[in-house]
Amino acid sequence: MGMSYRRYLNGIRIYGCSNCKTHLATIDSMISRAFHGQHGRAYLFDEVVNVIEGEPNDRVMTTGNHTVRDIYCCKCGRTLGWKYDRAYEQSQKYKEGKFILERNLLADVQ
């Protein structure tokens, strides 16, 4: 795979991994705050960096059936949320390719 450095973001507000402060996403790419994860509130982002994606699996959520992958911090390995590969409900299609980060696992970073 080769050696690569983590990406660093630039913006008014940068969200990082609460454990190791790795940059993950900025407020500019946030789509919605109205999501829920295992640890309470969660945010939907258009774009997330420095995460490793797990294997896809199907999950039944309150908004229907989805194919998702868990995402992990590339530095410390903590599970941060998931990524939507596929939404089966037509109304939920907008989530495909987007990311969920759980608010309680995030910290503001520089």
Partner 1 sequence: MRLTEPDQESGKSVQIDTVPEAGPSSLAGSANGYNGTASKHNGYATSYTNGTSKTTPGDATRGGRPEKHATSITQVSLPGSTLYDDSYVDREEFVRLVIQSLRDVGYIESAATLEAESGYTMESPEVAEFRRCILDADWVRADAALMRLGVADDERLWEAKFLISQQKYLELLEANKITAALHVLRNELAPMNVDSDSLHALSSLMMCSNPEDLRQRAGWDGASGHSRRRLLGDLQRYIPSSVMIPQRRFATLLDQARAYQQSLCLYHNAPMNSRTFSLYTDHLCDKDAFPRVTTAILEVHTDEVWNLEWSHSGNYLASASKDKTAIIWRVEHDKDPSIRDISPKFILRDHPYPVGCVAWSHDDSILLTAAEHHIKLWNTRTGLCVRSLEVHTDVVTALAWLPDGSGFISGGLDRKIIHWDADGKQRDSWGQSPIRVTDLTVTPDFTRLVAVGMYDAPANVPGPAAAASENGNQSGVGGSSENRVIVYDLVTKQPQSFIPVDGELTSVEVSDDSRYVLINRTPEGGAPCEIHLWDLELDRVARRYTGHKQSRHVIRSCFGGVVGSFVASGSEDATVYIWHRDTGILLEALTGHGAGSVNSVAWNPRNEGMFASCSDDKTIRIWEAPPVDLATASLDAAEHRREAHEADGKGKGKSRERWDGPLAAGTSYGLGSSSSSTLI
CA separation, residue 45 to residues 1, 2, 3, 4, 82 (Å) = 26, 27, 26, 23, 11
Which one of residues 3, 34, 40, 62 is an interface residue with partner 1 (CB under 8 A)?
3
- Do the bridges between strand 99-102 and strand 106-109 make them parallel or antiparallel, or are there none, so unpaired? unpaired
Integer-rounded Cα Rg, in Å, for the chain is 14
For partner 1, the closer of residues 20 and 61 by Cβ is 20
70 sits near partner 1 (criterion: CB under 8 A): no
Q: How far is the CB of 106 from partner 1 (least distance, A)?
A: 15
Amino acid, single-letter form, for residue 37? G
Instruction: Give the up-direction half-sphere exposure of residue 47: CA atoms within 13 A in the CB hemisphere.
Output: 9
Q: Among residue numbers 11 through 40, which ones bind partner 1 (CB under 8 A)?
A: 11, 14, 25-26, 28-29
Which one of residues 31, 61, 67, 75 is an interface residue with partner 1 (CB under 8 A)?
75
106-109, strands of its sheet edge to edge: 23-26, 14-17, 106-109
For partner 1, the closer of residues 36 and 58 by Cβ is 58
Q: How far is the CB of 48 from partner 1 (least distance, A)?
A: 7
Residues contributing to the site for partner 1 (CB under 8 A): 1-11, 14, 25-26, 28-29, 46-53, 69, 71, 74-75, 83, 97
